Every structure is written in C-alpha cells, then in structure tokens.
C-alpha cells in the first residue's frame, strides 16, 4: 500500500475523491462541500491553527486505487484539558479492510506522538463539535447537515484497532406536522415566555457581533461545570456563521435573557444536506443557479438543531419550553419544514437528553466519539456525567 501526505493540488484531489469510491452505491450519503472541508485545513480560515497543527493523508492499494484517507490534528488549548494530552483524527474514510484502516490509524497516532500527544479521539473535527463529529453507529439514514454519515462497518474498524467509546451522541427527530406536544406544555411555555423578567430575541445579522458575544457568554456559563470545559473560541464561531450565511435563517436562532443578561440559546439551520446530495461536493458558477432553484423549490424540508444551551441557574425554570414557544410561530410560517432533528445530545448530559424527549423527540441516530490511549496499559475511563456542581461529576468506567 502507498501512503501519500496531502500537500499539493493533486493529493488534495485524491483526498476529496476517496469518499466517492466508498459511497458510490449508497443513496444516503450527501457529499460535503469540498470548499468547507478545505477551510478546515486552512490556517487562514480555521482558528484552531492558532495553537495547533493538522496533517492529512490518502492511501492507495497495490493497484493504485484509492482505498482510504485520514487527518490528524491537535489544539493545545483543548489537548491539555485531559489527563493525558489528547489530539484527534477525523475525515476518516476507508474500504472494509482492517489492514488499510490500521495503517491510517497508525499514521495519525505516530504523528500525534511526535507532537506530545498521548491519546487521540476519533473521528472528530479540527474545530467545534457541532460539525463532522463522531462515527455513526445506529440510524443509517440520510444525516442532517454537518452530522457524519458512514458505512456500518466503520465502528468495527475503530474497535478492532483499539478505540473505545468515550461517549455517545444521540439525534432525535421531531415531526413538526403532528401535535406531538400536549396543550399543557404550550400553556406552561407561554406562561414562562410572558414573565416580565424574561425577554427573547432571534438572531439578526445587523447585530451579529452582539449575538456572538451573547452566544459565548451562554455557552461558557452553561458548560463550565464540565470536567473538560474549554471556553468557546469566538473567532471559530464567527467563522462558522460567516461560512453558513447562505443557510442561516434569523428566526430559527433564539436567545433568552433574564433582566437583560443572556441565559439560554437555541440554534437550528435548514438541512443543507438535502441540496448537497444533488451537487456532488461542489458549488460552482455553473451549478449555483441550481442551488438557488432548489432552495426556492423548498427542497430543504428538515431543520437541524446545532446546539441548545441553558445557564444552570435557569435549567429548571421552563426557559427551554419558552424558547420553543417563540420558535413555534416561525415554524408555522414555514410549513415546508416538516421535521426537526434535535442533534448532538451527549450521553454525558442527561438534562439535554431529557429535554429532547420531553418535547416529543424520537431517538433516531447514535454516533460514537471514540478514544485511543497510546499507552495500552493505561486504564480507560469514559466521559464523566455532567452535573452543575464543580468537582462532583459522575465518573464512568
């Protein structure tokens, strides 16, 4: 087998071409935009390079055919929050061949070792976790925008190499055409939404910087109790918002405030994968009119929630229901959206799992975030359960 580091136009072309061989007969796959993938590996566009590095490789077999690819990366700001410095591998694609997978994993591991890492998570993103994160283990159907899709044998390739499940991520589907939620839910939601101490605003491009600041404040306050908490990078958030400008609909992104202080957020976007499935990975001058036409034709019938966050003090206040009460009219104005995916509920965060189930979500997909410890004798522990009391997280073996 021939391993090729991605360093020039030719090898980049190989990198993007590889998954087309993997999914050539799979109608569920939507090819990610090559430009968005390239932005991940561009130091000028990905803030993770401020204190990190990334490498990627493609693999050919003895006949010269592309059979796999992988990227490895680390960000010292995130790597050092764990007991052992932990990097990542991602953008993994491979034929059902353990020898090929092992060579790709070995390559990522060996490079990360030279950078002082002692473990690697995979498959993950070189950036925030709401995009390109996890290996699909259950729910082999079309995925929401940014959620990874892969053949069912990928879990086996990771496990056979020695990766173990660090945590699970669940996606819930909500049929917005059905009266899933009881009247009592909406009455409570309205009651909370109209309390004078609370106010609600949806995102506005005119005040983008303010909302980025509010997002960061809510995120940091909502997750700071996690054992491995790392404040969100506002540059990373700004880059994502700008790159997704074509998708963002202002009234699908809501913020809640208590006496003017930001306390909760909910972010959803249309499922661009429903258009990407028809583009073969590229938006060009020639097919952009097709993109606009597909959007105008309401091809996107699903939305995907990227994140919901609530400051702990208000997690039992009903503020989550109040946000849905404000979101509800927006969905009514857009009847072509018939389904909402409530994604990325980590099994370490039982409150979010309970919230998604309380609003009528049905669990449909499971992704795994897996970890490989370079010291094979070191005891493996799973991600601890989040609590709102510092130092009292529940460990799991």
Q: What is the mean pLDDT of the chain?
A: 89
The DSSP code for 176 is T
Mean pLDDT of 201-221: 92
Q: How far apart are CA 252 and CA 308, in angstroms?
A: 12
pLDDT tens digits along 53-103: 999 999 999 899 999 999 999 999 888 888 899 999 999 999 999 999 999
Q: How far apart are CA 95 and CA 157, in angstroms?
A: 10
Query: What token pair was written down for 208?
Result: 């983008």
pLDDT tens digits along 93-108: 999 999 999 999 999 9
pLDDT tens digits along 222-238: 877 665 567 777 887 88
pLDDT tens digits along 144-185: 888 999 999 999 999 999 999 999 999 999 888 766 566 777
Structural domains of the chain, ranges and CATH numbers in brackets: 2-164 (3.40.630.30), 174-368 (3.40.630.30)
Q: Residue 219 above 80 pLDDT?
A: yes
Q: How far apart are CA 290 and CA 283, in angstroms?
A: 9
pLDDT tens digits along 276-312: 888 877 777 777 888 888 888 898 999 998 888 899 8
Q: Are strands 119-122 and 86-94 parallel, antiparallel or unpaired?
A: parallel
Query: What token pair was written down for 54?
Result: 């990334």
So what's the pLDDT on residue 390? 47
> Which one, of 253, 257, 268, 265, lies nearest residue 216 by Cα?
265
Helices (H), 25-153: 34-40, 76-79, 98-114
Q: How far apart are CA 335 and CA 87, in angstroms?
A: 43
Q: How far apart are CA 331 and CA 357, in angstroms?
A: 19
pLDDT tens digits along 315-351: 888 898 899 889 888 888 999 999 999 988 899 888 8
So what's the pLDDT on residue 364? 95
Q: Residue 17 above 90 pLDDT?
A: yes
Could you count the other beta carbons within 10 Å of the beta carbon of residue 374? Answer: 18
Query: What token pair was written down for 6?
Result: 């991605």
What is the full DSSP assignment across 218-283? HHHHHHTTSTT-----HHHHHHHHHHTTTT--GGGEEEEEETTEEEEEEEEEE-THHHHTTTTT--
Q: Check the CA dihedral 150-152-157-163 and report its sign.
A: positive
pTM: 0.89
What is the full DSSP assignment across 32-53? PPHHHHHHHT-TTT-GGGGGEE
Mean pLDDT of 369-395: 80
Q: How far apart are CA 71 and CA 6, in angstroms?
A: 9
Whether 135 contacts 370, CB under 8 Å: yes
> Which one, of 102, 96, 89, lies nearest residue 153 by Cα?
96
Q: Residue 134 above 90 pLDDT?
A: yes
> Which one, of 195, 97, 192, 91, lies nearest residue 134 by Cα?
91
Whether 57 contacts 4, CB under 8 Å: yes
The DSSP code for 206 is G
The DSSP code for 143 is P
Q: How far apart are CA 254 and CA 250, in angstroms?
A: 8
């Amino acid at each position: 087998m021939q391993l090729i580091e991605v360093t020039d136009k030719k090898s980049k072309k190989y990198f993007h071409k590889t998954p087309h061989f993997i999914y050539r007969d799979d109608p569920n796959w939507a090819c990610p935009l090559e430009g968005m993938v390239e932005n991940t590996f561009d130091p000028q566009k990905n803030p993770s390079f401020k204190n990190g590095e990334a490498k990627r490789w493609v693999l050919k077999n003895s006949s010269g055919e592309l059979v796999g690819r992988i990227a490895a990366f680390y960000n010292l700001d995130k790597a050092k929050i764990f007991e052992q410095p932990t990097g990542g591998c991602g953008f993994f694609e491979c034929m059902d061949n353990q020898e090929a997978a092992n060579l790709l994993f070995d390559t990522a591991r060996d490079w990360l070792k030279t950078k002082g890492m002692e473990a690697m998570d995979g498959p993950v993103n070189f950036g925030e976790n709401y995009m390109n994160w996890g290996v699909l283990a259950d729910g082999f159907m079309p995925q929401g925008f940014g959620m990874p899709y892969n053949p069912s044998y990928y879990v086996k390739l990771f496990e056979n190499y020695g990766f173990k499940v660090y945590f699970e991520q669940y996606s819930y589907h909500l049929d917005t055409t059905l009266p899933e939620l009881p009247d009592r839910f909406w009455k409570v939601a309205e009651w909370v939404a109209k309390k004078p101490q609370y106010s609600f605003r949806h995102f506005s491009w005119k005040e983008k910087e303010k909302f980025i600041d509010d997002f960061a404040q809510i995120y940091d306050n909502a997750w700071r109790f996690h054992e491995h908490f790392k404040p969100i990078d506002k540059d990373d958030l700004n880059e994502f918002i700008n790159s997704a400008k074509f998708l963002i609909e202002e009234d699908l992104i809501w913020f809640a405030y208590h006496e003017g202080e930001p306390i909760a957020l909910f972010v959803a976007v249309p499922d661009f994968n429903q258009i990407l499935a028809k583009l073969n990975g590229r938006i060009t001058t020639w097919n952009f009119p097709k993109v606009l036409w597909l959007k105008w034709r309401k091809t996107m019938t699903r939305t995907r929630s990227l994140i919901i966050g609530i400051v702990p003090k208000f997690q039992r206040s009903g503020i989550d229901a109040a946000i849905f009460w404000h979101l509800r009219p927006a969905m009514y104005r857009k009847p072509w959206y018939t389904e909402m995916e409530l994604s990325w509920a980590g099994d370490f965060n039982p409150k979010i799992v309970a919230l998604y189930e309380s609003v009528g979500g049905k669990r449909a997909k499971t992704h795994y975030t897996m970890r490989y410890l370079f010291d094979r004798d070191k005891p493996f522990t799973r991600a601890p359960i989040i609590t709102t009391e510092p130092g009292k997280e529940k460990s799991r073996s």
